[in-house]
Amino acid sequence: MPQYSNAKLPEHINVSKVSPLKDFISLTGGLLAIAFVLAFTLAIVGNWLAPKIPYEWEQRLGDVVESTLLDDFNLNSEHPQRAYLQALVDQLWKLQLTHESSVNTGPNTITVHYVESDIANAFATLGGQIIVTSALLDKITHETGLYFILAHEVAHIKYRHPIQAIGRGVLFSLVLSAFTGSQGDDLLDHLTWNTGSLTLLRFNRHQEQQSDIEALRTLYQHYGHTEGAFEFFEYLVAEEQKADQNENQVPVFLSTHPDTQARIVKLKEIAQEQRWQPMPGKSITLQPLPKFE
Amino acid sequence: MAAFSDLFIFIILLGLGYGFGQWAERRHYRSIHTREKELAGILVFAERLPPPDPKFKHSSLVGGSVVISIDYFKRFVSLLRSFIGGRVSSYESLLDRARREALLRMKADAQAKGFQNIFNVKFETASISKGKGKQIGSIEVYVYGTALGPGN
């Protein structure tokens, strides 16, 4: 059978010459770039859409959040602390509503929840609700310090930041599931979700600053000065330094709040620019927090 | 922090996949090249009907199969590739290696049985482990044909 032979195929006929590493780098780079552009666009769309959501819709979500909170934290409305905080917040809310605002709808009243916890924290959530932990009241000694924190959270609600944050998150996960849903790969879901949550913080820095400034303004309106406003921030700075020594530092990029020291400096500058300072010669006495049983 | 450790593990897996995958592939190709030279004398044909030849007195079914798994790195690259399309180069070498290896095993089978010519050669390909999300984990290639010759 001399007329037959098997030709030797040249290499790389069936296999492309591309190095897998190069392929990987170009693919990851390209897809990450697309993901970031998409996240950016979605964030803008989300911010634009969220304030247009009627407050009644948010209220329904707020009710769900409240019932979860009740289950999770075993909330007790009988605390005298809660009544005290609620009175402060009511006062704050009235004050802040007198300021000019781009927000046309919002809750009539803001509800404060008091939670027994070792972690000093306060946060605003959907449906005009603010959660304050017992440790926060322990760490703050003067009313102005507490007033600032509460004013900050009230400002979040005034500007409807919670629905904006949720709105963005929902939009983002919707688009993600549209992309990865058909693929259904856990790994990719996981990875894209992580990149997603890195770019979309709970409240972004702009929102934090907006609330900080509004809180300072409210403070000045109420007290005639902004002394003692940063009591809690200063406590946080001290804690961060302690954590630094333990080498447990959280990078600024990953924390939901801007670097606290930088934040204090920035706010003091703003207070100076806006002349939110006491009358010259007027002495300031900070009122201590009431003692609770 | 949990996200960080997950990412860390993921990167380690990618690195391991890349390292071992490339090493195994290079080694396999080296072996394929030498054996292809050794077995170049065994001819394979797709024709169903061989030309009449008095040498072809005996026949036998010969075959070779192989199962190869893709590595973690290449699987991830192919996943990324599936977003935008194009040549899935990470799977190309996997299938190329599997086809050539299976063919070599069939040739070795024929050689052991004393044949020089194999006709009606056919390839069967199957993906074996369909992991989560139907990602192809490993493939099997089976090659078979009819060996003709004077025989043992």
Over residues A21-33, the pLDDT tens digits come to 888 898 889 988 9
Taking the CA of residue B22 and the nearest CA in chain A, the distance in Å comes to 9
- For A177, how many CA atoms within 13 A lie in the half-sphere containing its CB? 5
Residue partners of A183: CB distance under 8 A and separation at least 6:
B79, B82, B133
A194 to B7: CB separation less than 8 angstroms, yes or no: yes
Chain A residues with CB-CB distance to B77 below 8 A: 20, 23-24, 27
B18 to A4: CB separation less than 8 angstroms, yes or no: no
Strand partners, A115: A133
Of A4, A15, A184, the CB nearest to B133: A184
In the prediction, which pLDDT does A138 show?
Answer: 87
Query: What residues in chain A have per-residue pLDDT under 50?
Result: 182-201, 252-254
Q: Which of A256, A210, A93, A25 is nearest to B77 (CA)?
A: A25
B81 to A27: CB separation less than 8 angstroms, yes or no: yes
In the prediction, which pLDDT does B123 show?
Answer: 96
Q: What span, in angstroms and rounded, lies between the C-alpha atoms of A227 and A143?
A: 11
Taking the CA of residue A90 and the nearest CA in chain B, the distance in Å comes to 37
β-pairing verdict for A129-133 and A111-115:
parallel
In the prediction, which pLDDT does B132 show?
Answer: 59
In the prediction, which pLDDT does B106 show?
Answer: 97
Mutation site, A3, A9, A11, A16, interface B, largest B CB count within 10 A: A16
Positive/negative CA dihedral, A231, A130, A208, A97: negative
Q: What span, in angstroms and rounded, lies between the C-alpha atoms of B60 and B80?
A: 45
Chain A residues with CB-CB distance to B80 below 8 A: 24, 27-28, 31
CB pairs under 8 A between A and B: 76
Chain B residues with CB-CB distance to A10 below 8 A: none
Q: What span, in angstroms and rounded, lies between the C-alpha atoms of A137 and A132?
A: 8
What does the buried/exposed string (b/e) look like for A107-134 if buried means 16 or more CB atoms within 10 Å of the residue's CB?
Answer: beebbbbbbeeeebebbbbbbbbbbbbb
Chain B residues with CB-CB distance to A179 below 8 A: 83
Taking the CA of residue A253 and the nearest CA in chain B, the distance in Å comes to 13
Closest-approach residue (CA) in chain B for A28? B80
B53 to A184: CB separation less than 8 angstroms, yes or no: no
Closest-approach residue (CA) in chain A for B56? A1
B77 to A23: CB separation less than 8 angstroms, yes or no: yes
B73 to A20: CB separation less than 8 angstroms, yes or no: yes
Pairs from A204-207 (Cβ < 8 Å, separation ≥ 24): A204/A43, A205/A258, A207/A156, A207/A159, A207/A161, A207/A164, A207/A165
Query: What residues in chain B have per-residue pLDDT under 70?
Result: 1-3, 129-136, 151-152
Question: What are the start-end ranges of the H helices in chain B?
Answer: 2-38, 72-84, 89-112
A131 neighbors A123 (Cβ within 8 angstroms): yes
Q: Which 3 state secondary structure label does DSSP give B121? A: strand
Residue partners of B48: CB distance under 8 A and separation at least 6:
B119, B120
ipTM of the complex: 0.71
| Chain B residues within 8 angstroms (CB to CB) of chain A | 3, 6-7, 10, 18, 21-22, 36, 40, 43-45, 51, 53, 55, 73-74, 76-77, 79-84, 87, 89-90, 92-93, 95-96, 99, 117, 132-135
B89 neighbors B17 (Cβ within 8 angstroms): no
Going from the C-alpha of A160 to that of each of A55, A60, A286, B33, B110, the distances in angstroms are 9, 15, 31, 68, 77
Q: What span, in angstroms and rounded, lies between the C-alpha atoms of B3 and A202?
A: 16
Domains of chain B: 2-149 (3.30.110.70)
Q: What span, in angstroms and rounded, lies between the C-alpha atoms of B59 and B97?
A: 28
Taking the CA of residue B81 and the nearest CA in chain A, the distance in Å comes to 7
| Maximum separation of any 2 CA atoms in chain B, in Å | 76
B40 neighbors B109 (Cβ within 8 angstroms): no
Closest-approach residue (CA) in chain B for A35? B83
HEC-encoded secondary structure of B92-120: HHHHHHHHHHHHHHHHHHHHHCCCCEEEE
A194 to B43: CB separation less than 8 angstroms, yes or no: no
In the prediction, which pLDDT does A45 show?
Answer: 81
